[in-house]
């Protein structure tokens, strides 16, 4: 793709240029919404602080830098140690960048001048971060709007901007958070193209893994293959979360791949793989799961579970659109899946009764999906104006309970897992055990699990699915047979 005329983030070659106008549009959206909720006397300034480098403990090695997501949303700045301000009335935007000693040029290359930064990020002014209190003081602002609020997924708080001298200003850290978080929920047309791009890169990377994998690989070799394609072809230096590459029983471990289980098991012939991996392009996330037999050929049992999950996914893909409740979509997916499992002889009784008893939470103990954007579990699921977290088993794991709106970008990720402690719990509970066909279920105890996860844009009439991977049994078998 050709680089656009104006300033842009771009990794060259076949990667997507992200014009800096996208971040300007984000700023204009936020100040527009702020002006709707509040009238400001004098000069109100949004002040955000970007991320800093983080070292490995006391050493001089840093983690590869990742920008803080709210800061990225408004400014698109890839360097650490910056601040950014936006005048709520005029939209005038200023960056404050680290003042680096001139000898750093030996280690870091030619240092960008203030004017270089101004060109690079298409902002109105750039100063050094060590003069932020003076430069803001000259504007005599009536209030600084900083960011503070809870992240519903982590339980942590966004950390408001801080700098030496901030105590001289009137600071409000309440107004901004719900406004900017809600702005991030609805993606702009330019953001949609970035998300479409990173979903395509991730889809292709998954396809490469599926084409090359074979019994005898270790799980991490799938991860390595994905990372290579995402970076080398897609220009994605980061992934959006630690790759989950479980095979066999590991495919039923929802957050497999962590430090204690680093995707390090040998994959045996006949096993299912559940690979949940998403690239990240300039902060924007993909989050895609493919489930497939490592040898490229489904057994009947594998088909049964896979098709039950696929039916759930297809049902949601056919029903989701603006105005539909996300909780209803979760329950729809669960109902369809349980119905298929009943048809397959694993369950008995009425599906509605299974749902009432909470059997859905045994086989799918996680939510149907979540908002996604600059964070893989994106902000805005449980803002104060949103419906509260449901209480039913399974649905209580939902990362949002909102009514869908056009421009929301979500994952649809039904799954079916045979998890020992949950199965044992179900067999021990007469209200659940009565639905289980024990001999059949027992046959699946070492099966693991299946998840199918797409990243889709909600529209007024349905969805636009950005995930482009083989999904039916036939498609997967044909792709892997190549």
Q: What whole-number distance in Å separates Cα of residue 121 and Cα of residue 104?
A: 22
Site track 219-238 with a second copy (rule: CB under 8 A), x = hit: -xx-xxx-xx--xx--x-x-
What is the Cα–Cα distance from 379 to 30, expressed in whole angstroms? 15
Give the H or E element holding residue 409. strand 409-412
Comparing C-alpha atoms, which of 193, 254, 179 is closest to residue 449?
Answer: 254
Q: What is the DSSP letter of 76?
A: -
The reply to whether 255 sits near a second copy by the rule CB under 8 A is yes
Question: Measured from the CB of residue 314, what is the shortest distance to a second copy in angstroms?
Answer: 26
455 binding a second copy? (CB under 8 A): no
Q: What is the DSSP letter of 389?
A: P
Q: Does 159 bind a second copy (CB under 8 A)?
A: yes
Token pair listed for 272: 């299912």
Using CB under 8 A, which of the segments 137-145, 343-351, 381-389, 417-425 binds a second copy? 417-425
336 neighbors 416 (Cβ within 8 angstroms): no
Max alpha carbon distance in the chain (Å)?
76
Instruction: Single out the residue of 12, 101, 189, 430 in contact with a second copy (rule: CB under 8 A).
Output: 12
The H or E element that residue 288 is part of is strand 288-293
Residue 465's nearest CA partner among 456, 473, 474 is 456
Residue numbers 299-358 binding a second copy by CB under 8 A? none
Which whole-number Å values give the CA distances from 162 to 43, 82, 95, 143, 202, in the listed order? 19, 11, 15, 14, 36
Contact flags string 265-284 toward a second copy, x per CB under 8 A: xx------------------
CB of 112 to a second copy, least distance (A): 7
Q: Does 169 bind a second copy (CB under 8 A)?
A: no
Q: Using CB under 8 A, pick the residue from 5, 39, 59, 391 that binds a second copy.
A: 59
Q: Is 156 in the site for a second copy (CB under 8 A)?
A: yes
Does the footprint of a second copy cover residue 99 (CB under 8 A)? no
To the nearest whole angstrom, how small is the minimum distance from the Cβ of residue 102 to a second copy? 7
Q: Which stretch binds a second copy (CB under 8 A): 7-15, 24-32, 135-143, 312-320?
A: 7-15
Q: Between vectors from CA 4 to CA 198 and to CA 192, what angle results, nearest 5°?
A: 30
Q: Does residue 69 touch a second copy according to CB under 8 A?
A: yes
Q: Does 113 bind a second copy (CB under 8 A)?
A: no
240 binds a second copy, rule: CB under 8 A: yes
Please identify which residue in 2, 37, 39, 102 interacts with a second copy, judged by CB under 8 A.
Answer: 102
Q: Pick from 157, 352, 353, 475 the residue near a second copy by CB under 8 A.
A: 157
Tell me whether strands 125-128 and 44-49 are parallel, antiparallel or unpaired.
unpaired
The answer to whether the CB of 118 falls within 8 A of the CB of 126 is yes
Does residue 426 bind a second copy (CB under 8 A)?
Answer: no
The residues facing 451 across adjacent strands are: 415
**Choices 247-255, 334-342, 344-352, 452-460; region in contact with a second copy by CB under 8 A:** 247-255
Q: Which stretch binds a second copy (CB under 8 A): 132-140, 183-191, 214-222, 349-357?
A: 214-222
Binding a second copy (rule: CB under 8 A), the pick from 101, 109, 189, 430 is: 109
Q: Which residue's CB is nearer to a second copy, number 255 or number 343?
A: 255
Q: Based on CB atoms, which residue is closest to a second copy, 141 or 394?
A: 394
> What does the alpha-carbon distance between residue 382 and residue 384 come to, in Å, rounded to a whole number?
6
Within its chain, how far is the Cα of 171 from the centroid? 31
x/- contact string, 355-384, with a second copy (CB under 8 A)? Answer: ----------x---------xxx-------
Q: Among 127, 124, 101, 102, which residue's Cα sits nearest to residue 114?
A: 127
Does 130 sit near a second copy (CB under 8 A)?
no
Told to check if 421 binds a second copy by CB under 8 A, we report yes
Q: Which tokens sit at 190?
A: 């330019």
Of 390 and 462, CB closest to a second copy: 390
Q: Establish if 293 lies at the interface with a second copy (CB under 8 A).
A: no
Residue position matching structure tokens 């045979």: 418
Q: At a CB cut-off of 8 Å and minimum separation 6, what does 220 contact? A: 245, 262, 263, 264
Q: How many CB atoms lie within 10 A of CB 115?
A: 9
């Amino acid at each position: 793709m050709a680089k656009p005329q104006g300033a842009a983030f771009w990794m060259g070659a076949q990667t997507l240029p992200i014009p800096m106008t996208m971040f300007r549009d984000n700023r204009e959206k936020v100040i527009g919404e702020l002006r709707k909720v509040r009238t400001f006397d004098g000069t109100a300034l949004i002040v955000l602080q970007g991320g800093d480098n983080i070292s490995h403990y006391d050493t001089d090695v840093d983690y590869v830098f990742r920008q803080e997501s709210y800061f990225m949303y408004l400014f698109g700045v890839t360097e650490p140690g910056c601040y950014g301000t936006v005048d709520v009335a005029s939209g005038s935007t200023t960056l404050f960048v680290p003042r680096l000693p001139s000898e750093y040029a030996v280690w870091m290359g030619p240092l960008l001048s203030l004017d270089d930064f101004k060109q690079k990020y298409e902002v109105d002014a750039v100063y050094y971060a060590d003069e932020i209190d003076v430069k803001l003081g000259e504007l005599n602002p009536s209030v600084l709007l900083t960011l503070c609020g809870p992240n519903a997924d982590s339980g942590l708080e966004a950390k408001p901007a801080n700098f030496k001298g901030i105590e001289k200003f009137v600071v409000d850290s309440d107004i901004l958070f719900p406004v900017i978080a809600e702005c991030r929920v609805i993606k702009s047309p330019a953001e949609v193209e970035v998300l479409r791009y990173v979903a395509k890169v991730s889809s292709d990377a998954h396809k490469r893994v599926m084409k090359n994998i074979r019994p005898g690989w270790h799980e991490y070799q799938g991860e390595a293959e994905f990372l290579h394609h995402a970076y080398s072809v897609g220009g994605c230096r980061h992934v959006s979360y630690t790759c989950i590459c479980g095979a066999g029983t590991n495919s039923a471990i929802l957050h497999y791949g962590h430090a204690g289980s680093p995707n390090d098991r040998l994959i045996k012939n006949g096993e299912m793989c559940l690979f949940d991996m998403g690239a990240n392009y300039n902060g924007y996330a993909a989050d895609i799961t493919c489930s497939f037999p490592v040898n490229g050929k489904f057994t009947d049992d594998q088909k049964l579970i896979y098709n039950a999950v696929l039916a759930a996914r297809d049902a949601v893909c056919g029903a989701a659109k603006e105005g539909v409740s996300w909780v209803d979509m979760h329950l729809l997916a669960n109902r369809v899946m349980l119905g298929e499992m009943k048809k397959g002889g694993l369950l008995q009784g009425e599906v509605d009764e299974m749902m009432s008893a909470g059997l859905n939470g045994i086989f799918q103990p996680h939510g149907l999906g979540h908002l996604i954007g600059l964070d893989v579990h994106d902000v805005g699921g449980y803002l104060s104006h949103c419906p509260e977290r449901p209480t039913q088993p399974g649905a209580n794991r939902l990362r949002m309970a909102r009514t869908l709106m056009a421009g929301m970008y979500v994952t649809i990720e039904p799954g079916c897992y045979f998890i020992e402690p949950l199965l044992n719990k179900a067999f021990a509970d007469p209200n659940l055990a009565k639905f289980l066909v024990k001999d059949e279920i027992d046959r699946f105890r070492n099966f693991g699990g299946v998840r199918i996860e797409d990243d889709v844009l909600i529209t007024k009439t349905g969805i636009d699915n950005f995930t482009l991977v083989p999904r039916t049994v036939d498609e997967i078998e044909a792709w892997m047979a190549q």
